[in-house]
Structure 1
Amino acid sequence: MKKNKWIAAGALALACVVPTAFSAVSVKEADRLKGDLTPIGAERAGNGSDIPPWRGGLTLPPLGYTKAGQHHVDPFPQDKPLFVITAANMKQYADYLSDGQKALFKTYPDTFTMPVYQTRRTAAAPEWVYENTYKNAIRAELSPNGNGLMYAYGGLAFPIAKTGLEAIWNHETRWRGTYLTRRASEIAVHTDGDYSLVTVQQEVEFNYYRQDKSIEDLNNILFYYLSFTKAPARLAGGAVLVHETLNQVDEPRQAWGYNAGQRRVRLAPNLAYDTPIAAADGLRYADDTDMFNGAPDRYNWKLVGKRELYIPYNSYKLSSNSVSYKDLIKPGHLNPEYTRYEKHRVWVVEATLKEGMRHVYQKRVFYLDEDTWGIAVADQYDSTGDLWRVNMAYIKSYYEVPVTWTTMDVFHDLKAKRYHVQGLDNEEEGTTDFSEEPPGERYFTPAELRRRGKR
């Protein structure tokens, strides 16, 4: 029944004679994506000083990069910090910092710093993604309640966003490859810097970006996610399978967990919103993952506007296999020696909890990189209105694809003075591999989860 509904919706959009009848913007406005805007809706021009024009991004690997899945060679090894922001000089740069970033300086005045480098607009995507993004600009729609996406496929949904909801849907539909595999660890860091690794093998198929599909074939599925825990021994063998839907209010995300001891697959219906993630020791909730994910229905969304901000970017040094976890993980925050911040334009989106809705975050402010629509920084407020947490995505270009995405996500609890890190793979043999062919939906089923779990 669901499949027929979405096929009918797609067919209606494609059969529409007048292209603006169901469009987000007019054809004339969409043509800006071939002019003063980049193919995904950022300003092509620089700011005349320290943000350069976009000239196509980074689309070729540098010398030394030879095979998919190997740790990345830094394409800018000669770059040095232009200056370093500290607690002592923070006020000088306050206009380009989020409230959460300012709070990190106040919380860790002696150790937290932000080395700022030359801005390099490396974001890029394949041409077919740009073509689909243009098509989406004149056909994509939100569902009547805003909690679902219709008539979009294979590109950013709303490259010329007019509302906060459209902007957050851009984050959720941004280009992240078609199929990826990776082995990585996450850690919850104690106040003294101590931690334990939880290592997982992950596989993600972005159904929305399958080139052999169309709007009619999506069946309301944005992506499939499968994760097997490899370490520590007490957790090894456990697994999670997720079917992420395009309209989670109409059809909630489906999730299953595999218990290695019982060899049983069970539904996990509560893996959403502010459900705590076990491996994060209370420092990350379900919809914190990827800075934000899932249904947007519990919040009112406001597109505040655009501003310039220092955000993590081109984080090759941070993810290098020459850096050990011991050197990287320090009390309170990552070792600033390995971080890189650049000034970029960001869209500011504010989410405030709807009356009658429940969530641990009363207010959330997201800063979306204009060149990717990915959330780079998230400031999160508790039920009393106090700034509680600040999350940062450490972005880099996977130039072999090309795709620009996070290499590591960090979730800071300002009150507990602890933090959680996702995506650590410095000590693994390789990093995220986008080169394999997507296995298809039959691979991401509860039956397949049970079969693989019994190996």
Structure 2
Amino acid sequence: MNTTLKMIGALSLGLLALSVQAAVSPEEAAKLGTSLTPLGAQMAGNADGSIPAWTGGLPVDAGAVDERGFLADPYANEQPLFTITAQNLEQYREHLTAGQLAMFKRYPDSYRMAIYPTHRSTAVPDAIYAAAKTSALKTGLRDGGNGLTDFTESRYYAFPIPHNGLEVVWNHITRYRGGNLKRSIVQASPQTNGAYTLVHFEDEVAFPDNVPDLDPAKAENTLLLFKQRVTAPSRLAGNVLLVHDSLDQVKEPRMAWLYNAGQRRVRRAPQVAYDGPGTAADGLRTSDNFDMFNGAPDRYDWKLVGKREAFIPYNNFRLASPQVKYSDILKAGHINQDLARYELHRVWEVEATLKEGERNIYAKRRFFVDEDSWQIALSEHYDGRGQLWRVGEAMLFQQYDKEVPVYALEALYDIIAGRYLAIGMANEERSAIQYGTEASAKDFTPAALRNAGVR
């Protein structure tokens, strides 16, 4: 009997070793801040110098900040090196993705990419760099990659030195977003003729380390708390979404509630996950399209294709400028490409294939993740026939005064229907993102939704 118990114990330990992947060695972690940036990107530039070395990113005083928190563009005087169009794209194909090529094919007369000098502008606070190193030394994958081990001490950038595709995606999910924040943003889903209605949101985000009254037992598996209130148009105003996002959503699924202002009722909202419909999105995005990708990764097999150089949206200060109106940005077919800026950067390419027996409207997805910020810059989503369906672009820029990499907006293009959705614009709002806001666990409860939804 003792022999049997020993065999069972050995088998259990073996299975545990398979389910929990170890963190990197101290020798490998020592590369952070030397040959690698503190967040794990390659410190050096590329061979021909078109991608420079990382030298610390934009300083906090890189430009003026107006009274509403909007930033001046530190690169405003630069001119494009060249512009890629449907007519000349062949000479640049090696640095273009399948999604970008599809956009040129779908909109040959209007879609173009102005390529600017590359600036590695990403920077985060020193405390976050230290947290990333702690993650490298301690954090591992559990439950087939659906959760993280030994992560609550660091909380950011779970795998700055990734070894597989799932670890790359976890870096996007656990990246630094500036701590607690509030923001007013708009979403639009233009028709094929360019007509649109703006949907206005007020978002609040809180992180467990910055919610002092959050139950420690709950904080252990909490990624973030999210509340979103619709303020316009009137037919939607007062509706409120509340999400408790967990680190391991298989062990503890995402909790979501909706307050319907018309019915004055709070209901559980299990559909706010995976391929459930996005809020007021006219069917043009799923719940997990928000933030380029969010939520549990368990329905896909993740493959790390590798690292490559690609033209991606970067330093898009102009698209975030209060001098630009929503009507300047939102055009038929796609956003105004005259306002968009692209640069050559190294990206991690990750492919996700739907597991057998699992359900999602996207059978395959591909993500291109900026090596410096770990933000997804580009995405491709394929239907069950293997046809490219939707192409995502996130217009990256650096909130330099707060040391936070962010998006000016996200666009998701349905290249079959010829429509798209843009979300995250704040150009005409009263203020830019407010960071460092106070939060109480009581503000993120179903009971608080009714008060939040008062019109």
**Structure 1 length as normaliser, TM-score?**
0.92
The yes-or-no answer on 1:225 pairing with 2:226 is yes
Give the equivalent residue in structure 2 for 1:121: 120
* Mapped contact 2:132–2:156 kept (Cα < 8 A): yes
Question: Which secondary structure does the structure 1 equivalent of 2:328 belong to?
Answer: helix
The yes-or-no answer on 1:246 pairing with 2:233 is no
Give the equivalent residue in structure 2 for 1:440: 440
Q: Residues 88, 209 of structure 1: CA spacing in aligned structure 2 closer, same or farther, 3 A cutoff?
A: farther
- Structure 2 letter corresponding to 1:276: P
- Structure 2 letter corresponding to 1:121: R
Question: Which secondary structure does the structure 2 equivalent of 1:338 belong to?
Answer: coil
Give the equivalent residue in structure 2 for 1:55: 55
Distance 2:196 2:310 in 1: 31
Shift of 1:216: 7.3
- Structure 1 letter corresponding to 2:361: V
Distance 1:120 1:255 in 2: 39
Give the equivalent residue in structure 1 for 2:303: 302
**Structure 2 length as normaliser, TM-score?**
0.92
RMSD: 1.9
Question: Which secondary structure does the structure 2 equivalent of 1:302 belong to?
Answer: strand
Shift of 1:364: 0.5
* Mapped contact 1:151–1:215 kept (Cα < 8 A): no
Distance 1:229 1:431 in 2: 17
Q: Which segments of 5 or more consecutive residues in structure 1 lack a partner in the other structure? A: 1-20
Give the equivalent residue in structure 1 for 2:14: none
Shift of 1:441: 2.0
* Mapped contact 2:370–2:376 kept (Cα < 8 A): yes
* Mapped contact 1:178–1:207 kept (Cα < 8 A): no
Distance 1:118 1:209 in 2: 38
1:305-336 CA distances to partner (integer Å, 9 max, x unpaired)?
10001000111111111111222111111111
The yes-or-no answer on 1:42 pairing with 2:35 is no
Aligned residue-pair number: 433
Question: Which secondary structure does the structure 2 equivalent of 1:189 belong to?
Answer: coil
Distance 1:239 1:360 in 2: 25
Give the equivalent residue in structure 2 for 1:411: 412
Distance 1:215 1:332 in 2: 47
Which aligned pairs between 1:63-82 and structure 2 lie closer than 5 A? 63-67=63-67, 69-82=68-81
Give the equivalent residue in structure 1 for 2:6: none
Distance 1:184 1:50 in 2: 34
Q: Residues 92, 211 of structure 1: CA spacing in aligned structure 2 closer, same or farther, 3 A cutoff?
A: farther
Which aligned pairs between 1:392-403 and structure 2 lie closer than 5 A? 392-403=393-404
Give the equivalent residue in structure 2 for 1:171: 172
- Structure 2 letter corresponding to 1:116: I
* Mapped contact 1:366–1:377 kept (Cα < 8 A): yes
Shift of 1:212: 11
* Mapped contact 2:214–2:440 kept (Cα < 8 A): no
Q: Which segments of 5 or more consecutive residues in structure 2 lack a partner in the other structure? A: 1-19
Which aligned pairs between 1:172-251 and structure 2 lie closer than 5 A? 172-207=173-208, 218-251=219-252
Distance 1:177 1:209 in 2: 11
The yes-or-no answer on 1:108 pairing with 2:107 is yes
- Structure 2 letter corresponding to 1:105: F
Shift of 1:59: 2.8
Which aligned pairs between 1:275-314 and structure 2 lie closer than 5 A? 275-314=276-315
Q: Percent identity?
A: 47
Shift of 1:265: 1.2
Q: Residues 100, 348 of structure 1: CA spacing in aligned structure 2 closer, same or farther, 3 A cutoff?
A: same
Question: Which secondary structure does the structure 2 equivalent of 1:334 belong to?
Answer: coil
Question: Which secondary structure does the structure 1 equivalent of 2:244 belong to?
Answer: strand
Give the equivalent residue in structure 1 for 2:453: 453
Distance 2:334 2:21 in 1: 47
Shift of 1:374: 1.0
Shift of 1:210: 7.0
Shift of 1:256: 0.5
